[in-house]
Amino acid sequence: MSLYIHDATVFDRESGDLVRGDLRLGAGPDGDRELTSDGPAPDDTLIEAHGALALEGLTNAHHHIYSALARGMPAPSRTPRDFAEILELVWWRLDRCLDLDMIRASALAAAVDSLRCGVTRIIDHHASPNAVTGSLETIAGAFDEVGLAHVLCYELSDRDGQKPVTAGLAEHASYLASGRPGLVGLHASFTVGDELLAAAVDLAREHGVGIHMHVAEDEIDQRRSQAYHGKRVVRRLADAGVLDLPGTILVHGLHLDDDERGLIRRSPAWLAHNPESNLNNAVGRYSWESCDPARVLIGTDGLHGDVLRSARAAYLVGQEDGLAPQTAWNLLWNNQRYLEAHHPTAARRNDLVLLDYTPPTPLDAANLAAHACFGLDSRHVRTVIAAGKVVVDGGSLTCIDEAATMQFCREQARRLWDALERS
């Protein structure tokens, strides 16, 4: 049984064209998507699109579900003065308090937020040093329940001692051995010693996957790399073999010199840009100079689930480099190309978003990217289809009782905040 979508304005990513027509989406994770004029078969489920804009389901290339219950949480004991203090006083305090129930609630909250924004696939980077074992399984289970595809990893770091490192390596090993799409996660060079770096690269090689880690998000990463390792971050990662692994994602990449930019450009590694997070942490601005724009991905870095909004932010922040709307728009589709290249089971062709977008100006293939930068927004999302199944219909989730789920999330947020106040 397939979904038959009648009369949509379909964006074809490969050709860049907008085509008014019908789509058939096969059911299940391997289901196909095809433009058709056959009309619905007797057992098809018919969806009338009334000309709605149809985009492929969106992908978030860098998310942290662990931050989903942080919204409105008690303020830290004092205002962080710099990036290191933001981590120490906010995020590392929070992630140490997480248990598996809170992780499940975080994953569900992030999933609901994402689906409403048309995001059907998430590449997550998770940390919960006192609840490592079973954390990836818990996130995968929550995402599966609501229909989200996922590429998961655990954020390994030496910042909390050996116990979470040992548990984290084992968690990766069992998760990746299960055959589900994943990466090997590392926090950032400045909290990862040489022994852990080598162990992570070995594990990634063994499973044929890449590394997912923050790189030069703040100057502290470079300062500590120079002080402890006598070289800059990307040179250190290149020497350790990180850049050559298939599907490696380097996140942020703000404080790079020419040598490092060259290393990244000549390697097969991808870079995940998180413009709103960079603004929020006041860590600097991504420079588009001498990068390969086809290997820049777009993520939200745990701030929210709306990757379309992040692409718009990339456009706005990129104006100092004269970034074109088309380059910002392409980021969304680079995310999808990344999945197709490295995690094909998460790339699902039958994920689709229908948006009720009726602009006051002409819309065509040539100006769609400009519409995305100045008008098209997640508030226009009407229907979201994941693996050939409607998961958001008229703005409501179909797979779960949303009110009960949000109640569960608020209970777990209260437990988390209480634990934070005691910490």
Report the interface residues with Zn ion, using CB under 5 A: 301
Q: How far is the CB of 301 from Zn ion (least distance, A)?
A: 4
The secondary structure of residue 295, as a DSSP letter, is: G
Is residue 115 within 8 Å of residue 390, measured between CB atoms?
no
Q: How far is the CB of 45 from Zn ion (least distance, A)?
A: 38
Q: How far is the CB of 62 from Zn ion (least distance, A)?
A: 6
Q: How far is the CB of 251 from Zn ion (least distance, A)?
A: 5
Question: Structure tokens of 315?
Answer: 């456009």
Q: How far is the CB of 21 from Zn ion (least distance, A)?
A: 39
Nearer to Zn ion, 60 or 383 (CB): 60
Q: How far is the CB of 218 from Zn ion (least distance, A)?
A: 12
Q: How far is the CB of 84 from Zn ion (least distance, A)?
A: 15
Nearer to Zn ion, 302 or 325 (CB): 302
Nearer to Zn ion, 276 or 301 (CB): 301
Task: Find the Cα–Cα–Cα–Cα dihedral 117, 123, 91, 85, rounded to 10°.
Answer: -100
Q: How far is the CB of 358 from Zn ion (least distance, A)?
A: 36
Nearer to Zn ion, 22 or 301 (CB): 301
Is residue 213 within 8 Å of residue 188, measured between CB atoms?
yes
Is residue 381 within 8 Å of residue 392, measured between CB atoms?
yes
Is residue 357 within 8 Å of residue 376, measured between CB atoms?
yes
3-state secondary structure of 233: helix
The secondary structure of residue 44, as a DSSP letter, is: P
Burial of 337 (0-12, 13-18, 19+ CB in 10 A): middle
Nearer to Zn ion, 147 or 302 (CB): 302
Which phi and psi (to 5°) does residue 33 adopt? -130, 130
Nearer to Zn ion, 90 or 324 (CB): 90
Q: How far is the CB of 325 from Zn ion (least distance, A)?
A: 25
Nearer to Zn ion, 214 or 371 (CB): 214
Distance separating alpha carbons of residues 71 and 352, to the nearest angstrom: 29
> DSSP characters for 83-134?
HHHHIIIIIHHHHHH--HHHHHHHHHHHHHHHHHTTEEEEEE-B--TTS-TT
The secondary structure of residue 231, as a DSSP letter, is: S
Distance separating alpha carbons of residues 334 and 312, to the nearest angstrom: 15
Contacts (Cβ under 8 Å, ≥6 apart) of 287: 254, 256, 321
Residue nearest to Zn ion (CB): 301
Nearer to Zn ion, 91 or 374 (CB): 91
